């Protein structure tokens, strides 16, 4: 038995029209604008350190290295336009080197092993464009230069996210970044020999949002707003300002905020965060806290509720 098949002809014009259910080619990307002073400064700092690249993203320019920097790897002069593997997040300049010449400190994200938390710090010789140090896990977020003899050191706030491998937990410390006066560290550990820290506090509020809390468990929130370094005759004064909260109890307001918050500061407000100011003096390259500051740090670092 034969079977009759009927087809409907399609006009030439219809066959050339794109189907609405087929993927369309994306519109051509807008041309990348000329780099501004911020982008140019980072590109100059990385010249000779790595193959440089930058892109303009939704939140602004991402500037850094096309691949993770490796000692002795060949470096080109060209500036690429692909997403960087290592993104520079901040830049500090001071007379850090032993002869009093300038070293540039570049903090970054990307390229760090997970063990180290997030972020890291590069030290570049400004004159020779050589990479002198790479300290993964050392994320310096506020810095100020202070005199030490004929050269300078950086007094900084360091933030280690993913502290003790706990996502959502952030540890803050203050310290002196000095690539000349190095301290002894475990070569298998995650400490930097150039970083001389004093622990301030850990912020656990985002972590507890994810993992939950038990009645009476301590939850902490903290953030650093400003660091001030004032060189005075014979001494250097350092002040730190921020907000902090530590709460145990039912956490009703905090847990309710966990469901809807978009900013960590909202968690702090739910926990009753209050402003604080800490004072230090820099002596012989080390920070000495005031008596009031020592007492505040000791109280902030307590991790168990007070006995009833």
Domain boundaries, the chain: 85-182+190-300
Name which residue leads in pLDDT, 33 or 221: 221
For 67, the token pair is: 């691949």
Cβ neighbourhood burial of 291 (10 Å; 0-12, 13-18, 19+):
exposed
pLDDT at 123: 95
CA dihedral sign, ordered 61, 67, 70, 76: negative
Q: Is the confidence at residue 12, as pLDDT, over 50? A: no
* Rounded distance between C-alpha atoms, residue 95 and residue 206, angstroms: 38
Q: What is the pLDDT of residues 210-221, one digit of tens each?
A: 766 666 678 899
> Kind of pairing, strands 131-136 and 139-148?
unpaired
pTM (2 d.p.): 0.82
Mean pLDDT of 153-179: 83
Q: Of 285, 286, 287, 289, give the one whose Cα is nearest residue 277.
A: 289
Size of the chain in residues:
308
Confidence of residue 13 (pLDDT cuts 50, 70, 90): very low
CA dihedral sign, ordered 231, 241, 178, 87: negative
Q: What is the pLDDT of residues 223-235, one digit of tens each?
A: 999 999 998 888 8
163 phi, psi to nearest 5 deg:
-60, 135
Q: What is the pLDDT of residues 93-122, one digit of tens each?
A: 999 999 999 999 999 998 866 555 677 899
CA atoms within 13 A on the CB side of 286: 6
Q: What is the mean pLDDT of the chain?
A: 83
Q: Which residues are CB-neighbours of 105 under 8 A, at least 6 positions away?
A: 91, 92, 93, 94, 96, 121, 122, 123, 140, 143, 154, 177
């Amino acid at each position: 038995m034969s079977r009759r098949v009927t087809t409907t002809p399609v006009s030439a014009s219809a066959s050339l029209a794109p189907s609405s259910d087929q993927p369309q080619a994306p519109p051509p990307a807008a041309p990348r604008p000329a780099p501004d002073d911020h982008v140019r400064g980072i590109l100059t700092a990385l010249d000779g350190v790595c193959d440089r690249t930058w892109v303009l993203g939704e939140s602004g320019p991402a500037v850094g290295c096309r691949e993770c920097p490796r000692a002795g790897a060949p470096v080109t002069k060209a500036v690429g336009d692909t997403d960087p593997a290592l993104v520079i997040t901040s830049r500090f300049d001071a007379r850090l080197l032993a002869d009093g010449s300038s070293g540039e400190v570049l903090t970054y994200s990307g390229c760090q092993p997970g063990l180290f938390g997030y972020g890291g710090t590069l030290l570049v010789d400004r004159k020779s464009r050589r990479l002198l140090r790479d300290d993964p896990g050392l994320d310096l977020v506020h810095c100020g230069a202070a005199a030490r003899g004929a050269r300078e050191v950086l007094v900084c706030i360091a933030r280690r996210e993913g502290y003790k491998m706990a996502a959502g937990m952030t540890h803050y410390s203050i310290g002196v970044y000095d690539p000349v006066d190095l301290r002894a560290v475990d070569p298998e550990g995650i400490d930097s020999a150039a970083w001389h820290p004093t622990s301030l506090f850990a912020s656990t509020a985002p972590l507890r949002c994810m993992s939950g809390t038990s009645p009476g468990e301590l939850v902490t929130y903290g953030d650093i707003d400003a660091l001030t370094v004032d060189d005075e005759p014979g001494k250097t004064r350092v002040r730190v300002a921020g907000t902090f909260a530590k709460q145990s109890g039912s956490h009703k307001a905090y847990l309710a905020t966990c469901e809807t918050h978009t900013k960590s500061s909202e968690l702090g407000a739910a926990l009753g965060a209050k402003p604080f100011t800490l004072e230090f003096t820099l002596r012989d390259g080390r920070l000495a806290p005031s008596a009031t500051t020592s007492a505040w740090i000791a109280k902030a670092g307590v991790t168990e509720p007070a006995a009833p």
